Amino acid sequence: MLLPVKKAGSRTLLPIFAAPGAAFLIVLAAAAPALAAPAATKLTLTGPKHAPAPGGSATLTATLEANGSPLAGKVLSLTSGPAQVAGATTDANGRAAFKVTVSAPATYRATYAPAPADAPAYAVATSNAVKVTPAVGLRFAAHSYLRARRRAVGVAHERVSLRGTVGSFTAGESAQLLVFRGHRLVKRITRPLVKLGRGARFRTSLRPARRGVYRIRATVHGASATTRVYVVRPHASQGSRGTAVRALQSRLRKLGYLTPVNGVYDASTSRAVLAFTKVNGYPRGTVASKRVFKKLARGAGGFHLRHPKAGKHAEFDWSRQVLVLARGGKPDKILHASSGKPSTPTVFGTFRFYAKSPGFNAEGMYYSNYFIGGYAIHGYESVPAYAASHGCIRIPIPSAISVYRWISLGDTIYVYH
């Protein structure tokens, strides 16, 4: 027979079929309330701001949150591939720091596996991947004879050297170079690394086709470095200014020609260019032509001493009408000069300075340095590009005091054809 359903408090008594005369009750406990799902967790990992040196240490930081709030006191693990490499506990801000040694590129992840007591409340979490690569120690630069401050300056169709070094060497590795003019890629270059001590080097050159700013990016072992070459118009004259003029002045000055380095093509620079054209057998003039720029861009154009082992001394080259003050086997000052005209020629030979006279004298000679009889090196108002004096060696008045101070009594001067 079917017994009726009855309720007793929170329990339900279900009817069952029973034989006549028998009565049974099955008592079922009320269903327990459903458990809440574990809170969603978020784990993020950040790497070091700068690449560590090979074999150096790096710090990675993990942040653990649940529902937007930091979780403190939770144990996190740092893994690289299948291996656990470090462990740490989160602070009050939910952060944990891991310190690792980086000898080669490696990818890391942080994981959070709740402890048994936390398992019902928080979900498992895995962070994003962070790749840490040791610093290559890449150094890369353009090297040119023409420079304006730190800028490498070039001239179209003249080579500029590109050199780089890295802190480590891997056989078979190469440097990849991309050359841009403005935003346009104009050339790709691949150069093998050559072992250099514990590291390596690579070298190549760029021959720019036209004016403009060239940006060259070198990439080695995933690291990149960039340098620039400023290719200028190879022409300058009185009143010109800018990068081309500064590069011209800087190179002339390094070779010994008397000029300021201020980016302004003034009278001093004009005289230095005149001396340069004389030394190099060009048509004598004060304009820095394409020919002048190209010669300087190749690292040429200096004066070769006839007496490089004579110590501190002066040389006057009559054929080129140039005065050179030398020290340490190289020119210290190279000046445009004018010697005796054919009717009153300058004497030739080896002499020593025996007398000096500051200021102007009655003949208009300015800051005179006598080397034999009445023959002297002195400043004068007129210093043409050819021999025109009465026998002395004339130099421009603005250069006279500097030369006077440089020459000492007893110094030798060589006057030759």
Which comes out higher in pLDDT, residue 310 or 133?
A: 310
Tell me, yes or no, whether 398 and 324 share the same domain: yes
Tell me, yes or no, whether 147 and 58 share the same domain: no
Sheet strands (E) in 207-245:
212-220, 223-232
> For residue 273, is pLDDT > 80?
yes
- Residue 308 resides in a domain: no
Express each pLDDT in 370-407 by its tens digit: 999 999 999 999 999 999 999 999 999 999 999 999 99
Tell me, yes or no, whether 99 and 48 share the same domain: yes
- Residue 304 resides in a domain: no
- Cα separation of 180 and 173, whole Å? 23
Where a domain ends, among 251, 271, 297? 297
pLDDT given for residue 78 in this prediction:
97
Domain that holds residue 12: 1-33
Select from 299, 301, 263, 302 the least CA-distant residue to 143: 299
pLDDT given for residue 222 in this prediction:
78
Sequence-distant (6+) residues with CB within 8 A of 44 are: 62, 63, 127, 128
- Residue 250 resides in a domain: yes
Tell me, yes or no, whether 324 and 340 share the same domain: yes
What is the 3 state secondary structure string of 168-203? CCCCCCEEEEEEEECCEEEEEEEEECEEECCEEEEE
The answer to whether 58 and 99 have CB atoms below 8 angstroms apart is yes
Tally of domains within the chain:
5
Q: Is 291 exposed, middle or buried (0-12, 13-18, 19+ CB in 10 A)?
A: middle
Q: For residue 180, what are its two tokens? A: 């841009």
> For residue 141, is pLDDT > 90?
yes
- Residue 238 resides in a domain: no
Where a domain ends, among 115, 132, 149? 132
Tell me, yes or no, whether 52 and 125 share the same domain: yes
> For residue 125, is pLDDT > 50?
yes
Select from 242, 339, 237, 354 the least CA-distant residue to 286: 237
Tell me, yes or no, whether 206 and 163 share the same domain: yes
Tell me, yes or no, whether 319 and 411 share the same domain: yes
Tell me, yes or no, whether 145 and 86 share the same domain: no
What CATH number is attached to the domain comprising 121? Answer: 2.60.40.10
Tell me, yes or no, whether 194 and 263 share the same domain: no
Tell me, yes or no, whether 318 and 411 share the same domain: yes
Sequence-distant (6+) residues with CB within 8 A of 238 are: 265, 266, 267, 270, 286
What CATH number is attached to the domain comprising 407? Answer: 2.40.440.10
- Residue 305 resides in a domain: no
- Range in 160-174, 244-258, 270-284, 313-327 the model is least confident about: 160-174
Tell me, yes or no, whether 398 and 368 share the same domain: yes
What CATH number is attached to the domain comprising 275? Answer: 1.10.101.10
Q: Flag whether the pTM goes above 0.85.
A: no
DSSP 234: S
State in Å, rounded, how far the first CA of the chain is from the last one: 145
Tell me, yes or no, whether 394 and 353 share the same domain: yes
